A and B are shown apart, each in its own frame.
Chain A
Amino acid sequence: MENSLEESGERKLQCSDVSKCFQLLESILDGNDVPDSKEILKSKLAKCQPCFEHFHLEQAIKEVLRNKCTKHEVPSELVANIRQKIEEIK
């Protein structure tokens, strides 16, 4: 964690409950309905270095996955084939 000391300000370097915190952070990042999520996120990221690092790493991975793994072009004939088959079973 030494590499982030400078930017960590007053963040504590040990998280008191890693599994609970990381689980909560991932739930928020994944768009689940977490009560008071904005406040929780703000507070955890401001006060806890492991939470700060975990959140930002997960966020970066999520972004590259979404940007780089969803661009498969649908074969042009697929839609036409589906429509044709549907007409056959109608």
Chain B
Amino acid sequence: MSEVQRKKYTEQEKNKIFDGEFMPHIDSMYNFGYRLTFDEDDAKDLVQDTYLKAYRFINSFEQGTNAKAWLFRILKNSFINDYRKKSKQPSKVDYQEVETYYNSDDVDYSMTSDLRVDSVKDMLGDEISNALNSLAVDFRTVIILCDLEGFTYEEMAKILDIPIGTVRSRLHRARNLLKEKLRSYAQNMGYNTDEEG
């Protein structure tokens, strides 16, 4: 969020922007907050805090630009700066996962998955949701932003303050990890993942 304040909106304009451009995204914001914190009360606090900040800094929002991306950026920053510190909860990270995938710019695109399209389509909501929730927060975040919320790589780069190349590689790694989780669910469901069905 830009700290530069431009005194330009009247009270009436502020209310119009808030109601017309910010509030319509509350479902997506709450879903994002919930998937970051896994707790309804924490998600509510995070979303409420985000909307209060959005109102307070509304003069740094350019009307006509992407309000949803702007709000998501505030929520993400609040999560990192406020929520994590307050809860003193280290981010739920599988350090081995991070070590293996995170600290390298090389992305293995040759890794193929024997997960089948049919088994993915037949999966239950809980299985998909659990697989997503099991990912480390930075990987989970890129999947949420891209696949659940439909942000482009450019928008994600701005929300997360990282280069587009990093968005791309982090997303690919996240997807590989997600496929591994889904693959193990598929096997438990009795789907034969690596032979002719």
Pair from one complex: yes
Residue among B44, B123, B129 making CB contact with A78, cutoff 8 Å:
B44
- Which residues from B are CB-within-8-Å of A43? none
Q: Mark A20-36, 1 if CB is under 8 A from B, else 0.
A: 00110011001111000
- Return the chain A residue nearest B118 by Cβ: A60
Known: A26-B168, A57-B115, A85-B52. 16 other contacts (CB 8 A): A3-B197, A19-B110, A22-B172, A23-B109, A26-B175, A27-B168, A33-B152, A57-B179, A65-B143, A65-B147, A68-B124, A69-B148, A74-B27, A75-B30, A78-B30, A78-B47
**With A and B bound together, what is the CA distance between A72 and B52 in angstroms?**
21
CB within 8 Å of A: which B99-131 residues: 107, 109-110, 112-113, 115-117, 120-121, 123-125, 128-129
Q: Are B147 and A86 in contact (CB under 8 A)?
A: no
Q: Mark B128-161, 1 if CB is under 8 A from A, else 0.
A: 1100100000000001101110101110000000
Cβ of B71 under 8 Å from chain A: no
Interface residues of B (CB under 8 A from A): 11, 18, 23, 26-28, 30-31, 34-35, 40, 44, 47-48, 51-52, 55-56, 107, 109-110, 112-113, 115-117, 120-121, 123-125, 128-129, 132, 143-144, 146-148, 150, 152-154, 168, 171-172, 175, 178-179, 182, 195-197
Residue among B121, B124, B125, B196 making CB contact with A3, cutoff 8 Å:
B196
Residue among B123, B153, B178 making CB contact with A27, cutoff 8 Å:
B153
**With A and B bound together, what is the CA distance between A27 and B148 in angstroms?**
15
Q: Mark A33-77, 1 if CB is under 8 A from B, else 0.
A: 100000000000000001000101110111111101111101100
**With A and B bound together, what is the CA distance between A19 and B112 in angstroms?**
11
Interface of B: prevailing SS: helix
Interface of A: prevailing SS: helix
Number of interface residues of A (CB under 8 A): 39
- Return the chain B residue nearest A20 by Cβ: B109
Interface residues of A (CB under 8 A from B): 2-3, 18-19, 22-23, 26-27, 30-33, 50, 54, 56-58, 60-66, 68-72, 74-75, 78-79, 81-82, 85-86, 89-90
